[in-house]
Each structure stands twice: as C-alpha cells, then as structure tokens.
Structure 1
Amino acid sequence: MGERELTDDVAGEPLGRDFFDRPSEVVAPDLLGRVVVHGSVAVRLSEVEAYGGPGQDPASHTYRGRTPRNAVMFGEPGHLYVYFTYGMHYCANLVCMPAGTGSAVLLRAGEVVAGVHTARIRRMPHADGPGMEGLARRVPDRDLARGPARLAVALGLVKEHNGTDCCSGGPIQVHEGRPVPSGQVRTGPRTGVSAGADTPWRFWIDGDPTVSPYRAHVPRRRGRAAR
C-alpha cells in the first residue's frame, strides 16, 4: 500500500511563533485547515478547542495554577503540550500566549493528508503482519484522526513529545496549509467538560466528515449503597 505524500501546495510554510502568541480562542479557529506534520504523517486540522489561563477557565488544566503536569502550558507559545488521560490515551495541545500565561488549544480532529498507511498501522498495530493488510484498510480515512486520542495516535505523539518546540524546525511542525474562510467555521460548547461547559470555544469546519461527534459531559453515577 503506497503512502500519500505531502505536497507544498497542501502544507505550505511552517507557522512561526507569532502565530501562537495570541489568545487561545483567537488561535483556535485560525488553526482550522492548518497541517500538523510529524515525520511522514501529516494531519489537516478540522476541529480544535481553546482553553484559557489560570483562574479564568475552569475547564483548563491550568485553572488552579502551575503543576509538574501542566508546566509546558506556561512556556513559550508554539510548544506541544501532550498529556495522558483516562489511563489509556494521549492528547496534544499547542501552547498559546506569552510564557507564564498558561493557555493552549486542544487538537481534536483532522484529515490525514500524508502517511495514510503509517497512520492506519499506528491505529491498528497488529495489522502490519503477513496477511493482515486488509485489516488495516478497514479503518476509514475519515476516522484515522477523528477525535483527540486518534489524532495523537495517527501522528505518533506520546509523552516524550511533551514540550516539543513546533516553531524551531524540529521534528514536529505546524504548516500554514489552507486556512478556512470564516463562513465555514462553526463554534459551540466544548466536548465532555464538566466545568465551563457552556463556553463556546470548540471550533470546527462545517460539514467536514472528520469532525468528531459532540458529547456533553455525563457525571459519573455512584453505585447504590449496599443494603
């Protein structure tokens, strides 16, 4: 199975640090249509979520201040903040605003525009053996990076990439891609957050098949007391 190569007309030039040195809710819609590149795999972003700074956004990891886990969010803009969630998934964010601010944009979904085969194997690691090629093809193109955990898997992003500078010519970069006209951008409440749920900082490309389904936060139900 051949790889789809990334071409200059799709990727364009890498974005500089100034792009990210803005409020996260401004950077977020401007990230739609941009292309995140890691090695042979590239994802054109179709859905993102903005998260604010300490004491401002109760849904943000930095709401209660700096910790070892969220320290990267307080660094320079344009760095990658990767965290582990639910004991099984990694999610990737791009840090915004000057150092010390503590805000970022979560990368929720996108279209794999290069390295499709590699992305499929990462999604189904047991599908790379003899006679298993058909299994890898069962993952539809639209689902390869549809959702923040799938996007991180498709791009091969793990804990070791936390803190990576995406603006210094390193292994992970964000390219200008094809910015989305404002008329095609939709906005609404963020997915699955319990605090700040009504803040309309989820942004997506209208009608794009790779956008993930919206899910409101569902409180965990305690088990019935023993009789």
Structure 2
Amino acid sequence: MATPSPVWFERDPLELAPLLLGGVLRRADRAGAVAIRVTEVEAYRGADDPGAHSFRGRTARNATMFGPGGHVYCYFTYGMHHAVNVVAGPAGSGWGVLVRAGAVVEGAALALARRSARRASAPSGELARGPGNVAQALGATLADDGAALGGTTSDGAAWSFEPVAGFAPPGHRTGPRVGVSGPGGDATAFPWRFWLPGEPSVSAYRAAAPRRRSPAG
C-alpha cells in the first residue's frame, strides 16, 4: 500500500480527520497482516482542546503526539485496552486523530483470533468497532507507539495507510466525541467526531459518565 509522505499528515487534525475516512490502515507482523477501512475517527487538538491527552503539555505518555505527523500514537487506557491514533500537524503541535472504528478488509481470521483471545466465546458483529477493538484486531500494543506510517517498528511490525483521495469523502457526518468528559465533551464546542454514515462499525453515541478520569484523546 502506498502511504503518503509525512507532509501529507502535517495538517490541522480537523482537516486530517475526515481525510482518513475510507482509507485503509494496515499493520503486518510475524503473525500476518490485518487491514481496516477507517469508518470513524475523532480529532484532538492539543492545547486548544481540553479533551486531548496533550492539553496540559508533553509527558512521557503523550510524547509521540508532539512529534511530526504521520506516526502512530498508541496508548493503554483504563487498564483494559490500547487505542490507535494518527499523529497530525507539524512537530510540537500535540495534535492527533483517534481511529475509533473500521471495517476489516484483510486478515479477518487473524483479527477474529486476536479478538477472541481473552473471551469465553468468539465476538459477533464488527471486529473493529470501537477504539479498543481496532487496536486488538490490528495487534497494536505500546511497542507500536511512535511507529511511522510507511515504516517498520523495532520488533518488525510494518504500518501503512492508503487514503482514498486528497479530499474528504462526500456525505460524511460530524458530531460530539464519544465518552469524553468535562469541557472537551461539549457537543457544541467540539463536534470533532467524523464518520461514514450507514457503516455498522460506527459507534453509537454515548456521553461520558460522570467520573474522574484522564482525557480520552
């Protein structure tokens, strides 16, 4: 798959997010390859966005967000699952786009095996619906944090992304981000979720529960 040059990703996340829709995100390792057609994403905009991990500045956890665009920011959340983001903008911006959902278009058997590994029974329905399931289907872990799209990690995992075109898919929808608490969850101020309508992998909207937790970007 032909991954664009890093400059292609060095955009404002509000511009990059819809451009990722319909594109194919792929990860290959020794076990095989899994690819998803991206159907849902969320933009996170650093110091301007109280929902972003990078809102309060650079930390050891979010350092990849402050690198150049075109890299994978992968983190572990709530002690349960990983999440995959595409770093946006130039180095230092702290911007990113969360890959919330996708349709598996390659490696369905491997994705199913990964999704089934810690379950009593095999999952039914979409294999990459929700950010935790996206990461699990792709096999992404913290070892993938900082991986270049179009490059290979130190342990041999290769990442790529092939966009549909240089413009956002017509008819895509926007709305509030899922499960973001506090000011960053304001649906009017931050309608920064983008999705393809009619796709079964897209999340049902859920407002954040009133609990203390880290931002979700």
TM exceeds 0.5? yes
C-alpha separation between the residues in 2 aligned to 1:186 and 1:158? 29
State how many pairs are aligned.
200
Q: Is the 8 A contact 1:34 1:179 kept in 2?
A: no
User: In 2 relative to 1, CA 86–126 (structure 1 residues): closer, same or farther, beyond 3 Å?
Assistant: closer
The runs of 4+ residues in structure 1 deviating greater than 6 Å are none
- Given the two structures, how large is their TM-score scaled by the length of structure 1? 0.82
Structure with max Cα Rg:
1
State the one-letter code of the partner of 2:161: V
C-alpha separation between the residues in 2 aligned to 1:180 and 1:156? 29
C-alpha separation between the residues in 2 aligned to 1:202 and 1:96? 15
What's the CA shift string for 1:62-94, capped at 9, x where partnerless?
Answer: 110111110000001111000111111100101
Query: 1:179 deviation in Å?
Result: 7.5
Equivalent residue, structure 1, for 2:124: 139
Query: 1:167 deviation in Å?
Result: 3.5
C-alpha separation between the residues in 2 aligned to 1:84 and 1:126? 16
User: In 2 relative to 1, CA 164–220 (structure 1 residues): closer, same or farther, beyond 3 Å?
Assistant: same
C-alpha separation between the residues in 1 aligned to 2:164 and 2:170? 18
How large is the Cα RMSD of the aligned pairs? 2.1
C-alpha separation between the residues in 2 aligned to 1:184 and 1:71? 34
Gaps of 5+ in 2: 213-217
C-alpha separation between the residues in 2 aligned to 1:27 and 1:180? 9
C-alpha separation between the residues in 1 aligned to 2:63 and 2:112? 32
Gaps of 5+ in 1: 1-11, 222-227
* Correspondence 1:32-181 to 2 at 5 A: 32-39=21-28, 40-54=33-47, 56-125=48-117, 136=122, 139-140=124-125, 143-168=126-151, 171-177=158-164
- Given the two structures, how large is their TM-score scaled by the length of structure 2? 0.86
State the one-letter code of the partner of 1:193: V
Range that drifts further, 118-127 or 157-166: 118-127
Query: 1:213 deviation in Å?
Result: 1.2
1:214 paired residue among 202, 205, 212: 205
What's the CA shift string for 1:162-183, capped at 9, x where partnerless?
Answer: 0101134660111124788643
Q: Is the 8 A contact 1:31 1:179 kept in 2?
A: no
